[in-house]
């Protein structure tokens, strides 16, 4: 059984970080290590110790003295990881229990696939602070098979929803450390020449946090993000790209947005 390394970059979100770590510890696939990169924030050693005591699974902590760009921090984690398969988890997202087991099984069954991903449940929050208790007002499920033309227009594979073979990351050099935004989309556009992207339908794999008033809100993006999109347009000869969140993409694709009250009613039925 292949070891899966989960790369988890965190900054000043201890409450949400613990929820993310808990979701890794509860995976039904047990050959998992976590590589936590504290990206220049206050100490999280107590949470690492708590995880080790509760779940008895391997975990590494890398503490960066100063905050780095996200692709730089992720590359640091990848370099330290021991697994043949690399997965990612943002510190405000959570895995569902069967997520890594399904992705691992898919990679085992499809040697031609270099990357696998499953469905995302977007949790739309009206929470303001970075580490406040989440207040979810609606949900939206995002997941569809890979289509090259569609993917060149919109990114619809959140980093937390995917796993890929380590060798591909080594061959391509990892994330582009010069990008402040859309580094995950750029990586996937760059590695698609190495093999197939495989969608694993059926179950929701992750819960993705989208704060309408937070640091990943709506489509009001600054010039830095627009400049990064321009890099992708020129590098991969794409049509002009419009800045969007995964929530924006899901709505454009016609995915249903369900208010939490309605979702509760459906579950009771």
Banded model confidence at residue 221, pLDDT cuts 50, 70, 90:
low
pLDDT of 131 reads 78
pLDDT in tens, 94-146: 999 999 999 999 999 999 999 999 999 999 998 877 878 888 999 999 999 99
* Domains annotated on the chain, with CATH: 4-268 (3.90.550.10)
pLDDT of 132 reads 83
Q: Is the pLDDT of residue 82 over 80?
A: yes
pLDDT in tens, 161-211: 999 999 999 999 999 999 999 999 999 999 999 999 999 999 999 999 999
Average pLDDT, the chain: 93
Q: Hunting for tokens 């992705």 — which residue is that?
A: 103
Global pTM? 0.93
pLDDT of 265 reads 45
d(CA 41, CA 66): 8
């Amino acid at each position: 059984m292949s070891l899966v390394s989960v790369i988890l970059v965190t900054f000043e979100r201890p409450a949400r970080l613990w929820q993310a770590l808990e979701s890794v510890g509860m995976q039904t696939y047990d050959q998992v290590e976590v590589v936590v990169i504290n990206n220049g924030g206050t100490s999280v050693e107590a949470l690492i110790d708590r995880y080790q005591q509760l779940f008895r699974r391997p975990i590494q902590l890398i503490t960066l003295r100063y905050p780095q760009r996200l692709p730089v921090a992720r590359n640091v984690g990848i370099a330290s990881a021991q697994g043949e398969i690399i997965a990612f988890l943002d510190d405000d997202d959570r895995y569902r229990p069967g997520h890594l087991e399904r992705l691992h099984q898919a990679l085992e069954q499809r040697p031609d696939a270099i990357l696998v991903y499953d469905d995302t449940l977007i949790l739309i929050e009206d929470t303001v602070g970075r580490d406040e208790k989440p207040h979810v007002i609606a949900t939206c499920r995002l997941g569809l098979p890979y289509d090259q033309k569609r993917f060149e227009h919109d990114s619809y594979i959140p980093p937390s929803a995917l796993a890929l073979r380590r060798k591909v990351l080594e061959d391509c050099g990892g994330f582009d450390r010069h990008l402040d935004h859309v580094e995950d989309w750029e990586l996937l556009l760059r590695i698609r020449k190495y093999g197939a992207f495989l969608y694993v339908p059926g179950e929701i794999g992750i819960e993705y946090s989208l704060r309408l008033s937070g640091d990943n809100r709506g489509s009001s993006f600054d010039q830095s993000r627009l400049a990064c999109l321009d890099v992708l347009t020129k590098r991969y000869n794409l049509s002009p790209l419009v800045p969007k969140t995964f929530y924006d993409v899901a709505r454009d694709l016609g995915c249903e947005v369900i208010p939490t009250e309605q979702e509760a009613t459906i579950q009771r039925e």
